[in-house]
């Protein structure tokens, strides 16, 4: 039964959430004990894995407890311990889970490496973090050959078996303080070099609240987060979050495709789904793969990373069978604003929702004053009234994102006046044309409603008369041709459905949009391209 959001926030108890941990914030605890070992009795399944070839395997919490102990013993034998960074350059496999859990059991800090990274990205991260060990597989091992001063490497296969599984299955978990790190993240780096984010153990409280109240994870749910654990959304909420609540999580080693995703949802009877907006857009673009009477077991779905387009929200409910909720967060903070599946409040399509319990988010004007209803401002977290805010600043002080008591996100939102906000764009994404401020998300949401559009990226293009004009880079669905007549049709479509001042005066059809490895559209690349067109 869902609770009233306002009533819950008024009686919200920090201590009640702290009691969900078996450890104590004042004396410290071990994260692996919290998310794995405590659930080891009774044969409960911690991980259900499906390989590239479609074969599946189940791994109990008890098995993960023993194998993580073996990996922890191996780390200690190598002189690796509390505070040291350990990385995995692995796809979504059982070995990845063992490396994560074993690292945490040893009191070390797990540092993800996304498998799409090249040697330069790996070198930058491992050098900054002084990484002590990398675990990889035969496929990804060659990338490390060009990494200068590469840390020692263990390769999954015979070396992993002989080195790790020969160790004892007994290990005394190493206690770390609540403010000591257990994850070493790097921001997705859409602008400049990625910044380091050390996530402290106390972040488990925030992860718990998100999984329970925003994701709405129930004991009987079959949960799948599509996101890759090489990034925050996948690591926080496909690994740590569900295991913390004692739920089974799912790893699908197969690269993303609409057909495979539909099959996975059906075969594993997924009831609770989480994915980035790009995944939902790609599923919708491949609606033709679904029979009209195709049904799933989906109860609820969630999304984060970018705003969900209204058309996508409606499609998910109609074709996948469960309501999808928009959530907002960052690598630095985890989730902070959500539409909560387990808390009842007003829902607005396209809104990121309300402050997550344990947080207070606000919108600030240029003078760092909180804005009124209908006004836009920079989204910020009031750290003095956010007991579960865990960001301690960038690991190597690359930037100061704080202004007094506020953490500044760099994202522009509109306030609805009742505590809810709608995303308007990054500070540098906002388009000013003929004096009007235009949020790219509005234009993108309108374009995707057209039957021909799979997805789009909207940016400002310099213009002598208007300052800037709206330019849209459009990816078409299968079966549609990139023709001038279609471009004109799309312009008029947005002009009619959105606004006469916000329609794209230029449309360029492209095969794909530039994205971060975590799936966010890199508008700055599109903007640079548009600017270069003007200068030439």
432 forms bridges with which residues in the sheet? 437
328 forms bridges with which residues in the sheet? 337
Query: Angle CA(439)–CA(442)–CA(446) in degrees, nearest 5?
Result: 150
In this structure, are residues 437 and 470 in contact, taking their beta carbons and an 8 Å threshold? no
Measured CA to CA, the distance from residue 338 to residue 355 in angstroms comes to: 6
**The two structure tokens encoding residue 372:** 């009124």
pLDDT per residue as tens digits for the range 230-247: 999 999 999 999 999 999
pLDDT at 309: 82
Query: Angle CA(466)–CA(469)–CA(475) in degrees, nearest 5?
Result: 175
DSSP 279: H
Report how far Cα 424 is from the mean position of its chain's Cα atoms.
19
Residue 485 neighbours by CB under 8 Å, 6+ apart: none
Average pLDDT, the chain: 94
Is the full-model pTM beyond 0.75? Answer: yes
- Residue-level pLDDT, tens digit, the chain, 536 residues: 789 999 999 999 999 999 999 999 999 999 999 999 999 999 999 999 999 999 999 999 999 999 999 999 999 999 999 999 999 999 999 999 999 999 999 999 999 999 888 888 899 899 999 999 999 999 999 999 999 999 999 999 999 999 999 999 999 999 999 999 999 999 854 344 689 999 999 999 999 999 999 999 999 999 999 999 999 999 999 999 999 999 999 999 998 899 999 999 999 999 999 998 889 988 999 999 998 878 999 999 999 977 888 889 999 999 999 999 999 999 999 999 999 999 999 999 889 999 999 999 999 999 999 999 999 999 999 999 999 999 999 999 878 999 999 999 999 999 999 999 998 877 677 787 876 667 788 789 889 989 999 999 999 999 877 788 999 999 999 999 999 999 999 999 998 887 778 899 999 999 999 998 778 889 999 999 999 998 87
**The two structure tokens encoding residue 134:** 């990398």
Measured CA to CA, the distance from residue 229 to residue 65 in angstroms comes to: 19
pLDDT at 189: 46
State the alpha helices, DSSP H only, in 231-334. Answer: 232-234, 241-244, 258-267, 277-285, 310-315
Measured CA to CA, the distance from residue 385 to residue 407 in angstroms comes to: 12
If residue 406 lies in a helix (H) or strand (E), which one and from where to where? strand 406-415
In this structure, are residues 471 and 505 in contact, taking their beta carbons and an 8 Å threshold? yes
Which domains, from first to last, does the chain contain?
A: 60-201 (3.40.50.980), 429-535 (3.30.300.30)
pLDDT at 190: 38
Measured CA to CA, the distance from residue 82 to residue 181 in angstroms comes to: 10
**The two structure tokens encoding residue 518:** 């975590």
């Amino acid at each position: 039964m869902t609770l009233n959001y306002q009533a819950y926030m008024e009686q919200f108890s920090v201590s009640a959430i702290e009691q969900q941990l078996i450890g104590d914030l004042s004396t410290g605890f071990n994260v692996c004990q919290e998310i794995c070992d405590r659930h080891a009795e009774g044969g409960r399944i911690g991980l259900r894995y499906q390989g590239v070839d479609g074969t599946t395997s189940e791994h109990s919490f008890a098995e993960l407890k023993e194998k993580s102990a073996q990996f922890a013993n191996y780390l200690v034998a190598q002189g690796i311990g509390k505070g040291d960074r350990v990385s995995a350059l692995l796809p979504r496999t059982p070995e990845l889970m063992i490396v994560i859990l074993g690292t945490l059991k040893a009191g070390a800090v797990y540092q993800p490496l996304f498998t799409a990274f090249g040697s330069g990205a790996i070198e930058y991260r491992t050098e900054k973090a002084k990484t002590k060990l990398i675990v990889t597989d035969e496929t990804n091992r060659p990338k490390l050959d060009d990494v200068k001063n590469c840390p020692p490497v263990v390769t999954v296969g015979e070396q992993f078996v002989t080195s790790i599984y020969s160790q004892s299955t007994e290990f005394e978990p190493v206690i770390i303080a609540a403010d000591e790190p257990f994850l070493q993240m790097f921001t997705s780096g859409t602008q400049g070099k990625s910044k380091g984010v050390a996530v402290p153990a106390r972040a488990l409280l925030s992860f718990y609240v998100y999984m329970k109240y925003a994701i709405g994870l129930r004991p009987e749910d079959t949960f799948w987060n599509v996101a890759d654990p090489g990034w925050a959304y996948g690591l926080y909420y496909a690994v740590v979050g569900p295991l913390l609540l004692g739920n089974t999580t799912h790893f699908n080693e197969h690269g993303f495709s609409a057909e495979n995703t539909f099959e996975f949802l059906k075969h594993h009877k997924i009831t609770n789904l989480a994915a980035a907006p790009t995944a939902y857009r790609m599923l919708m673009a491949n609606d033709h793969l679904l029979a009209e009477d195709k049904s799933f077991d989906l109860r609820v779905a969630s999304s984060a990373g970018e705003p969900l387009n209204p058309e996508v929200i409606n499609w998910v409910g109609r074709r996948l069978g469960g309501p999808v909720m928009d959530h907002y967060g960052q690598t630095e903070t985890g989730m902070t604003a959500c539409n909560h599946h387990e808390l009842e409040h007003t829902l607005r399509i396209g809104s990121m929702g309300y402050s997550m319990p344990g947080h207070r988010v606000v919108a600030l004007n240029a003078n760092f004053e909180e804005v009124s209803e209908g006004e836009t401002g920079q989204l910020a977290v009031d750290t003095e009234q956010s007991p579960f805010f865990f960001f301690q600043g960038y690991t190597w002080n690359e930037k100061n994102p704080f202004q007094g008591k506020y953490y500044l996100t760099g994202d522009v939102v509109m306030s609805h006046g009742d505590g809810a906000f709608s995303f308007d764009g990054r500070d540098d994404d906002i388009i000013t044309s003929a004096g009007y401020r235009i949020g790219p998300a509005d234009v993108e949401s309108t374009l995707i409603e057209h039957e021909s559009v799979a997805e789009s990226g909207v940016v400002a293009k310099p213009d002598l008369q208007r300052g800037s004009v709206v330019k849209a880079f459009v990816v078409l669905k299968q079966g549609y041709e990139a023709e001038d007549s279609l471009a004109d049709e799309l312009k008029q479509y947005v002009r009619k459905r959105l606004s006469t001042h916000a329609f794209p005066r230029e449309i360029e059809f492209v095969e794909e949009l530039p994205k971060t490895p975590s799936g966010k559209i890199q508008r700055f690349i599109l903007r640079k391209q548009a600017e270069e067109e003007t200068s030439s």
